[in-house]
Structures are given as C-alpha cells and as structure tokens.
A and B are shown apart, each in its own frame.
Chain A
Amino acid sequence: MDFSAVGAAASEAFTLASFIGIGGGVLLGYIVGVIPGLSRSVAISIAIPLTFYMSPFIAISFLIGLSKGTAAGSAVSAILLNAPGEASSAATALDGYPMAKKGKPKTALQVGLLASVIGDILATIILIFVAIPFARVALLFGPYEMAAILAFALVFIAGLSGGSIFKGLAAGGLGIFLGTVGLDNQTGLPRLTFGYTELMDGMPLIAVAIGTLALSEMFVQSEKLRYDRAGMSVELKNDRSDHITWPLFRSIIPTVLRGTGVGTFVGALPGLGPSVGSFMSYGMTVKASKDPESFGKGNPKGIAASESADNAVIPAALIPLFGLGIPGNVSAALLIGAFAIHGITVGPLLLRDNPELLYSIFAGMILASLIMLALGWFGLMIFAQITKVPPHVVIPIVIFFCLAGMMLQGYGTFGLVILIAFAALGYLMKKYDYSFVTFLVAFIITPMLELNLRQSIILSRGNWEILLNRPIALFFIVCTLVALVALAVRTFKTGKPVANAPAD
C-alpha cells in the first residue's frame, strides 16, 4: 500500500466538508430506509443530481453512505411496523417485530443497529484489503457456479418457510412463475406479458416488493384496528431493562460474524443482491442454532443474522466494482453512473491513476459507518417515536409513501395497479399463512437462475463432464441436493416449521 497516498487520503477524508457530506448521505439514506415505499435505488437516483456540485470524493462517499444508511434504516420499520423498508430487511422483521411486540423494541433496534454497523465495518475492511488483489477470484464463479449457488439459495430459503411446507412450495411456485414474466433473454420475444409493453422488463421488482411487504402490511393492520385498537401500537415504555446488555451482545457476536461472512461472499459475487444475503444468513443461523424453535418469536439472533448480512453486502458489492469494474448489484451499478458523471472510470485503473481518491473513498466509507453508529444510536429514540404515533395515523401516511415510491419509478398508473394487486396478494398470503418470503425470494432469484442455467447448458453443449472440472459448482450442487433431501424428510415428518413468518 502506498502510504503517502493513504496519509493524503486520510487528511482529505476528515475535513468538515466531507463530514457534512457523508453525514448528510447517511442521514438521508436512513430516512429513506425507514420509510417503507421509498427504496434504495430510488434514494440513489434522487441523490445523483445532488452530487453534481460536490467534489468526486465527497460525491462518492455521500452515495455509499446513502446506501449504507438505507440498509440500516430499513431495519427500523421492519422491527417497529413489520413493514420492511427494503426487501432485504424482510428477514429482520421475522424476529424483530415479535421482539418489539414483547416489549423490547429498543433492544431489538439496538441489536439491529450494532449488527448493521459491525457487518458494515468488517466488510469495508475486507473490501480495502481484498478488493484489488483478490477481485479476480470472482471470475472463478462462472455460469455453472452461479447457477449452482442460486439453486442452492432457492431450495435453502424455501426450506425456511413457515407453516405447511406445501403452502410454502405453492407460494414459491407462484414466485417462480411471476419471475419469468418479461422479454425472454434469448429470443428477445415477450413471455407472459399479455401484450403489455410495461411488462417487457418483467414484473417491476419495486411494485412486487413494496406491495407484498409494506402496503399489504398496512391493509392487515388497518383490518386489525377494528378489533384491537389499544393493543396495536408498540409502546416505547420507560422500561429500564429494555436495552442491550453485554451478555446479549456477546451472544450475538458469532451470529454477526457468520452474517458478515455470508453477506461479504454474496455481495462479492456479481448479480446476487442483499436479499439473498440476509435470508441465507438467517437460514444458516436457524440451522446452526440449538433451539431453532425460538426463531420467528423474537430471537435477537434472527435480527443480528439478517442485519449484519444485509449491511455487509453493500461494501462487498464494491469488491468486484473496484477490482474489475463489474457492479455487484443494482446500487453498485448506479454508482458507476455517479463515477462517470465525475469523470472517473471505475475499475482496476482507479488504483493506478487515482490512488488518493480510492483511499479517500475507503476512509470515507469507514467514516460513514461510524457516523451511522452515532446517528443510529442517539437517533434511536427519535426514530423510534414512530411507535408512539398511533397506527391509524401511520397507516395512511405509509400508504401514501408506497404509492409515491411507485410513482417515482416512472411506471405511471400501470405500476400502481400492479402495486395494489400485489398488496392484495400479500394480504391473502399473510392471512392464509402462505409464506410471502418464499414467494419474494423465488421471484427475485428465478430470472438470475434461469439465465445462468441457460448459459451453462449452452456453454457445456450438454456435456455433463465439464462439471468435474468445476469443484465449486460441484460443491454447491451437492449442497442443493442435501437441502432438497432435508426438505423432503421434513415434509414427510410431522415436524414443526423452523421459522414462521409473523402472520398475525
């Protein structure tokens, strides 16, 4: 490492202007993350024009701070409202909301925040030391490996679904079916679009995510208002015992480390997103736990697993970006655009041509994590005031933001109709105990899985022996088979589900 560059970078990173810029990014991201309906990609596209007048370093750090902020902020609404601000925080709601209902909202928020920040800082450090030398490792993961990993993720996450396994599979089937809507990536011909041009790029992910996660939850809650007006809001009482303790913190550390590992791995592979990361981490934590029964009922480890992975994905997605110029996911792709506006080509050349900028950005990222910790910790009480607002006031406002978030996507009335259709679907799934999580994950994974499978089949020319030279792919194929067998065994044994989505 070039130490004069590092020194110069540090001195640029810790100026007042950068402090304000990065802090502003984290704050804006946090707010967008908290509001269900406004999503990370919306936030970044909102912010890109803002960065026109900033220096390249502040602009980039601002945007990275913003993505980090959304990942941490979305946990707040997942825990307090059961309406995750991002699809990737849906796993946080599984244990966060029950924990808040049990009278420990502040503890839940603190666990979420600490897991976020630790996952984030560790992944940033891994990025700094690994990005440039080891980015090429990602190239070992070709279509065969990606297809095997995606298949594993699909089966593994399907196995987490609560309630009846057949209901979970049915929900997954629907997710797969809807995931295939759009232009066929090989022929370029429309598939299941029913003649709607708007569907050519597939069912809009934002509509599906906001509809089934946030908007449907508002409908569920407005129905409950009729029967249980008093018991609805999570009271932030002056409960002296409602804060994180050292033993609790120590107990979640292994979970956080595992989550960070999973998140970093998932983030570093181009194409997989934070939702895959947080659900994989949640699932592994449940499997590794001695009492899997306690998950879904307010186990802090569930929050820690999901949040640490969710946040670790954000810096890890920059590993292929800085090392190879390949964006790890959608928000990293948006960053390429932001870099270009500031006249910088992202990729390995950045280190050679502009090492000071790169190190400043790294310093800025660490600063962003620290600001996030301070902001989240002291702001916890303010953000948590949402729970003091009675639900009948929260519901209309969240519905408004859901509609507005969809409008910002530019799909017009068509998008809103899709949105309410998915809200209705999400409502029915929650009501009749079909796992909407399985549905959503299947929907997100299907297009990637199909593309990679196709590529593998074409590239191998149908020759299975190619897999013998692909140990990583073989490993994940074996994992998938094991997960399938486990799923089948569980189906025919009348066992309890591992984790149950909080349907009530």
Chain B
Amino acid sequence: MPRSDFWSGLAVAAFGALALLWMIPNYAGSNPFAQMPPELVPSIAAWIMVVCGTIVAIKGAVIMIRNRMGPLTRDLNWPGIGWALWPFAYVGAAIWVMSFVKLTWFGPVLIGGMLLLLGERRWWMILGCSVVPVALLYLLSVYLMRVGVV
C-alpha cells in the first residue's frame, strides 16, 4: 500500500510540524527555571512524528516511483467511501442531538435508526434491541448510581 503509506506518513509529519511550529510555541507554556520545561516532552513527541512520518512517506514515494504509480488513484470507490463515512456522520449527528435530549429518551432512536440503516427490518427486533439496553442503563444509572445527567 505505497499510496496510503505516502499520504498517511505525510499527514503524520504535517501534524508533527504543525505541533512544532504553532501548537507548542503558543500553547505549551514555558518555565525557564525548570530542568524539564513543559515544552520538552511535547517537542520530542512532535519530532518523532515529523521524522517517522517523513520516513514512511519517503518509503511509500520510492515504491510508487519504482512501480510508476501516480500519487492519486483515478478510480476512487465513492460508494465505498460513503459507506465508511456514514456511521461517523450518524454518530456525529447523534452527539449533536444529545446536547438537547437526554440519552434516556434519545437512546432508542439512536439504536433503532442505525438498525434500520444497517438493514434490519423486523419491527420486534428493532423495538427490543433499542429499548432493552436503554432501559438497562436507565435502571443502572438512575436507581443504582443515582446520576441525574443521563
């Protein structure tokens, strides 16, 4: 997978560079009197990322050049990417809703909706699978732990 190596290595190195150039100088703080200043360990970590990411990317690039591959593939599998992405979008949307509606009420909708999307059509299955876990959590959190938030 030289292509994915190239891009992922590049991403890691870029994140490390971003950390070194922007995050650490601005947000790490400093303590001139400490033998181990606060920016030391994050900087080491960022250098590791830059160096290792670059090596991974170069290795990928060398193989790509050797095999005469372009850095981008032409036949991107869009339906496949969409299928990989929708659960993230679904959970992201759920998190947004959860900032208004308590999980106890929204939970069954969350589970039921995803079951539908994953192709479950038996109504009793959807009902059972979405209500039972939520009821279980409700008992656990409200009656045993006595937590108000969930």
Contact = CB atoms under 8 A, between A and B. Distances in A.
B128 to A, nearest CB: 10
A180 B42 contact: yes
Given A191-B28, A222-B118, A174 B129 contact: no
A177 B49 contact: yes
Interface residues of B, number: 67
A423 B88 CA distance: 9
A2 interface: no
Given A172-B48, A400-B110, A420-B91, A458 B35 contact: yes
A49 B144 contact: yes
A401 B107 CA distance: 9
Given A450-B36, A453-B36, A396 B111 contact: yes
A173 B16 contact: yes
Interface in B114-150: 114-115, 118-120, 125, 129-130, 133-134, 137, 140-141, 144-147, 149-150
A189 interface: yes
Contacts of A164: 5, 56, 59
Nearest to A390: B120
B99 interface: yes
Nearest to A419: B95
B78 interface: no
A455 to B, nearest CB: 10
Given A177-B46, A219-B87, A397-B111, A189 B27 contact: no
Given A222-B118, A393-B129, A395-B118, A416 B95 contact: yes
A403 B118 contact: no
B12 A192 contact: no
B41 A170 contact: no
B72 interface: no
Contact of B129 (A193, A396, A423, A454): A396
B64 interface: no
Contact of A174 (B12, B88, B91, B137): B12
B114 to A, nearest CB: 4
B92 A177 contact: no
B98 to A, nearest CB: 7
A399 B27 contact: no
A139 interface: no
A223 interface: yes
Given A170-B53, A404-B150, A420-B92, A191 B111 contact: no
B103 A403 contact: yes
Contact of A186 (B27, B31, B144): B31
Nearest to B29: A189
A43 B99 CA distance: 24
Contacts of A432: 1, 4-5, 8
A164 B94 CA distance: 36
Contacts of A428: 8
A403 B56 contact: no
A389 to B, nearest CB: 9
Interface stretch (A74-82, A296-304, A405-413, A467-475): A405-413
Nearest to B111: A396
Contacts of A50: 144
A173 B41 contact: no
A400 B133 contact: yes
Nearest to A222: B87
Contacts of B99: 412-413
B45 interface: yes
A184 interface: yes
A218 interface: yes
B99 to A, nearest CB: 4
Nearest to B96: A413
B48 A170 contact: yes
Contacts of A215: 91
B44 interface: yes
Contacts of A100: none
19 contacts: A46-B141, A49-B146, A166-B56, A170-B49, A170-B52, A170-B53, A174-B49, A176-B41, A177-B19, A190-B27, A191-B42, A192-B42, A395-B114, A399-B110, A400-B133, A403-B91, A404-B137, A408-B147, A432-B8
Return the 3 tightest CB-CB contacts between A and B, nearest first: A173-B48, A176-B45, A396-B114
Interface of B: 1, 4-5, 8-9, 12, 15-16, 19, 23-24, 27-29, 31, 34-36, 38, 41-42, 44-49, 52-53, 55-56, 59, 80, 83-84, 87-88, 91-92, 94-95, 98-99, 103, 107, 110-112, 114-115, 118-120, 125, 129-130, 133-134, 137, 140-141, 144-147, 149-150
Given A187-B31, A413-B95, 8 more contacts: A166-B55, A166-B56, A170-B12, A177-B46, A180-B38, A180-B41, A219-B87, A434-B12
